[in-house]
Structure 1
Amino acid sequence: MLRSLIRLYLVVVLGCGLGIAFVSYSFVRLFHERVTDNTREAERGYAFVLSDYLARHPGPERAAALAELRKHGSDGFSLLTMRDVIPLMDDTQLRDLRDGKLVLSADGHDYYLPLPDGTIVHAHPNEPTNLDLQVLAYGVIALATLLAIVSWIHFHWRDLRKLQMAARAFGAGNLATRAQLSKKSNIYELSQQFNDMARQIEASILHQRDMMHGISHELKTPLARLEFGLALLQSPEPAERQRERQRALREDVRELDDLVTELLTLSSLEQGGRHVAPMQVSVGELIDSVAASIAHDIAARTLTLTVTTTEAPAHHVCDPKLVARALLNPIRNSARYARHAISLRAAVGAGGVLVLTVEDDGPGIPIDDRARVFEPFHRLDSSRDRHTGGFGLGLAIVRRVALVHGGDVHLDNGSRGGARFVMTLPPLPLPDAARAA
């Protein structure tokens, strides 16, 4: 702190010194006309007395009169002619002299007073310096400046120390640490940015911890089944039983492959819009392709799927593969719990937003669980069987797809008492190549 204080103080003192020097040596030249007018007004009586005194001592007596004046003052009087002052002045000053006005020199130290007979009195006042008083005055100013800087630095450094301690605690692993500063602090905005960063990092680390816990839990079950199945293959059994064991092992391998695929998809979506390939697609064709891909599963469960696109826009700019993937997940979720029917509806919202709604007539989802269903590895079904509970990643992928499109997804009550998933997708900007085409 001391080093910072010294540096700041030296910079301030140097700046003040340069400012004083600039004012002292430049303002008279910059505002010469105004200073001259003020001097004429202030010295009008003095100029009258001086002019009258010299007028009463004409000719040879004038030199003796000036010598007498020098004894009683320090103005350094001398007599000049117009020819003498022409090289020293500009046109404006010469015009003022001819008009009988007092004229200041460019630096403001000398003045020239024209007399009625054409003679010009030149005076160079020697003002007392009072160096000791000037040193004392500037010392008082420097001390006041130092006190002001110390006061400001004290509160500023106190807040910086608080922010430093918060950063150190956060770096040591206390993710809940936040910088608590007054709104009047000079670095309050910086502390708020630190707190926002800390919250984001904390959320990201906790999310990664949950992901790792969920991944490890999901991998244990199929790996255990694989290990158990391989051990059973070593035992002597009939050929038909061996083939059943092999089919079960292949199913476990496919389950692992599906889990890895889901994790890779979620991981790529977590990175933002870098993996999004926007293009202009026909909304009707996109919805029909999704319905066709799921039609067999819907029929196998003796359900009906109703598709409505009458209120949908003709075209929309999005990533069709991601949107199709995002639609399949809530439809499969609805197919798992629906009693008789599922509806898929596409419509246009405010600002050209594409609104996709999937609704079923199942038991619905409790209000307390509606926000959590979009978290990775969260499943309402307590079963861990792959045919009922799934991996718990489908709706998390839906949410990420909506977010990378600049939209969102939420869950509420359907008109039939079941769950209703509503996904909003604003139009994405087309790449330059697609726009040109």
Structure 2
Amino acid sequence: MLRSLVRLYLAVLIGGGIAIVLINQSFGQLFHSRVTTLERDGQSAYAFVLEDYLQRHPGAARAEALAELRKHGGSSFTLTTLADVEAELKGSRWRELRDGKLVLDDNATSYYLPLPDGIVVHARRNEVSNLGVQALAYGLFAIAILLSVILWVRYHWRDLRKLEAAAHAFGSGNLSTRAQLSRKSNIYELSQQFNEMARQIEASILHQRDMMHGISHELKTPLARLEFGLALLQASQSPESPERQRERHQALRKDVRELDELVTELLTLSRLEQGEDHLVLMRVSVDELLDSVAASMANDVADRSLTLSVSVSTAGLRQGGRTAEARAGNGEAPDPTYHVCDPKLVARALLNLIRNSTRYAREAISLRAEIGAAGALVLSVEDDGPGIPLADRDRVFEPFHRLDSSRDRHTGGFGLGLAIVRRVALVHGGDVRLESTVSGGPRFVVTLPALPLPLPVQRKVAAP
């Protein structure tokens, strides 16, 4: 802090000194005509007395008169003629001197006074120079600059110290630390950026902690069952029937599959959290994408005696200059709706939503796609099961979050499905929200904005 203050003060002081030198050296030339006018007005009486004095001492006596005059003044006089001065003065100044006017030289440090008999007096301007007074003046100037810098820096110093203390506390592990500065502070916007950075870092660290806790908890149960099953196999004294051995092996394989599914889900979520680097954008037929998802879930839906309806609405979508409805009205087959996205990730998100619905739906599940604002693709999955309370709607998309902790994994899954859905929407630049249907069941709505196709030639690619 002190080093910054010293540097600022030296910069201002050096800048002020350079400005003073430039003023002294250049202003005489920049405002030469104005200085000349002021000098004529100020020296008019002096010029009259000098002219009268020299007129009373003509010829050879004039040199003695000037020598006597030098004894009583600080001016250095030189006598010359108009012809000699013509080489030194040019333009308007030469013409003014020839007309009998006092003129200054180029640097405004000396003047030329013409006399009626053609003699020109060349003398230096009377400028009182006192080094002690000048040193005192410049010293006061430096002190004034220092006080001004200190007054200006004082409030910055105070706020910067607060921001420094907040950064030190945050770096020491106090993640809830925030910089509290007045809105009038000149670094208020910087403090807000720091607070936003601290909030995001805190949320990221807490999220990682929750993830590690959830992973540890989820891995512990199947590992414990595997260990227990292996212990039973090892400790078994009497030979078991083939059916009993088959049941034990099936239970162990189930636990292994559960571990494999959990690791797969974690890898998927981790890859999605890295952002858009893993996106493979294609121009996908929405109809084929939804049909593929529905076909993948057909057996699971049938096993639970549920019905899955799929619909695609192209209302308002321009295709070849006309809407799909207009093309159908003219006897033409309507083109399917296409959208640029990563089909594998979108299909994964829809599968997770439908699997979630199959756990709680009573009779029916609905999968719908439509075109939203600015060409966005809006995908929704709803069911007629029990709704989700408002207090829990913001947390259902968090990893390892279950609405009812008493549910077993067969019902509640790992708690990663909806988290993956949210990440899929985010990497596409969209979002996902939870709504309520008329029947009270949940409706998950995924919005995917229109994206440009990164390929030079757009091709129709079917859904996987």
The unaligned stretches of length 5 or more in structure 1 are none
Superposed CA deviations along residues 7-55 of structure 1, whole A, max 9, x for unmatched, are: 4433332222222112111222234344334444555565566567666
Structure 2 CA distance for aligned equivalents of residues 302 and 343 of structure 1: 14
Do residues 264 (structure 1) and 264 (structure 2) align? no
TM-score, normalising length from structure 1? 0.90
Opposite residue 403 of structure 1, the aligned amino acid is L
Contact 1:86 1:94 in 2 (8 A): yes
Q: Distance in 1 between matches of 2:117 and 2:343?
A: 102
Q: What corresponds to 2:327 in structure 1?
A: none
Which amino acid is the alignment partner of residue 445 of structure 2?
V
Alignment of 1:404-415 (within 5 A): 404-415=427-438
Paired letter, 1:349: G
1:189-268 correspondence to structure 2 within 5 Å: 189-234=189-234, 235=236, 236-268=239-271
Cα distance in 2 for partners of 1:269, 1:403 equals 9
Superposition map of 1:21-170 within 5 A = 21-40=21-40, 43=43, 63=63, 66-67=66-67, 70=70, 73-115=73-115, 118-170=118-170
For 2:61 and 2:455, how far apart are their aligned partners in 1?
A: 96
Shift of 1:130: 2.1
Q: Which structure ranks higher in relative contact order (CA pairs < 8 Å, sequence separation ≥ 6)?
A: 2
Q: More displaced, 423-432 or 194-203?
A: 423-432
The offset of 1:190, in angstroms, is 2.5
The 1:315–1:30 alpha-carbon spacing in structure 2 relative to 1, beyond 3 Å, is farther
1:162 Cα deviation from its structure 2 partner: 2.1
Shift of residue 272, structure 1, vs aligned partner: 1.4
Q: 2:424 aligns with which of 384, 397, 401?
A: 401
Structure 1 match to 2:363: 340
Q: Which moved more, 1:404-413 or 1:191-200?
A: 191-200
TM-superposition CA deviations, 1:246-273 (whole Å, max 9, x none): 1111111111111111111111111111
Deviation at 1:389, TM superposition (A): 0.7
Task: Identify the residue that residue 294 of structure 2 maps to in structure 1.
Answer: 291
Equivalent pair of 1:406/1:425 in contact (CA under 8 Å)? yes
Shift of 1:391: 0.5
Q: Which residue of 2 aligns with 1:426?
A: 449
For the structure 1 residues 170 and 86, does the alpha-carbon distance in structure 2 shift closer, same or farther, using more than 3 Å as the test? same
1:427 positional shift: 2.0
Contact 1:102/1:112, CA 8 A, preserved across alignment: yes
| Distance change >3 Å, CA 432–CA 28, structure 1 → 2 | farther
CA contact (8 A) 2:283 2:458 kept: no
Cα pair 2:283 2:459 within 8 Å, conserved: no
2:197 counterpart letter in structure 1: M
8 Å CA contact 1:379, 1:392 repeated in 2 = yes
**TM-superposed deviation, 1:436:** 11
Give the equivalent residue in structure 1 for 2:187: 187
> For residues 117 and 300 of structure 1, do their structure 2 counterparts lie closer, same or farther at Cα, with a shift above 3 Å needed?
farther
Deviations 1:363-411 (A, max 9, x none): 2111111111000001124345332110000101111111111111110
CA spacing shift, 1:319–1:89, aligned 2, 3 Å:
farther
SS in 2 for 1:174: coil
* TM-score, with length taken from structure 2: 0.85
Alignment CA distance shift 1:201-1:79 (3 Å): same
CA distance in 2, matches of 1:42, 1:346: 93
SS in 2 for 1:382: coil
Q: Separation in 2 of the partners of 1:436 and 1:8? A: 61
Paired with 1:277 and 1:52, the residues of 2 have a C-alpha distance of 102
- Farther off after superposition, 45-54 or 109-118: 45-54
| 1:341 Cα deviation after fit | 1.5
Cα distance in 1 between the residues matched to 2:347 and 2:38: 84
Assess if the C-alpha contact under 8 Å between 2:357 and 2:383 holds in 1.
yes
Equivalent residue pairs, number: 437
> How big is the shift at 1:187?
2.9
What amino acid is aligned across from residue 310 of structure 2 in structure 1?
Answer: V
Distance 1:292 1:176 in 2: 48
SS of the equivalent of 1:228 reads helix
Distance 1:29 1:222 in 2: 92
Partner letter of residue 197 of structure 1?
A: M
**Deviation for aligned residue 1:164:** 2.2
Q: Quick one: distance in 2 between partners of 1:47 and 1:350? A: 88
State the 1:429 CA deviation.
3.5
1:345-379 deviations in Å (ceiling 9; x for gaps): 21122222111111111121111111110000011
Whole-angstrom distance in 2 between the partners of 1:38 and 1:169: 65
Query: Which one is further off, 360-369 or 283-292?
Result: 283-292
The CA deviation at 1:79 is 2.9
Structure 1 counterpart of 2:305, which letter? Answer: T
In 2, the alpha carbon distance for the partners of 1:180 and 1:289 equals 54
Contact 1:381/1:388, CA 8 A, preserved across alignment:
no
Superposed displacement of residue 302, structure 1: 1.9
Matched residues in 2 for 1:42 and 1:284: separation? 97
More displaced stretch, 249-258 vs 176-185: 176-185
The 1-side partners of 2:31 and 2:458 are apart by: 62
Describe the SS at the equivalent of 2:429. Answer: coil
Residue in structure 1 matched with residue 174 of structure 2 by the alignment: 174
Amino acid at match of 2:286: V
Greater alpha carbon shift after TM alignment, 257-266 vs 290-299: 290-299
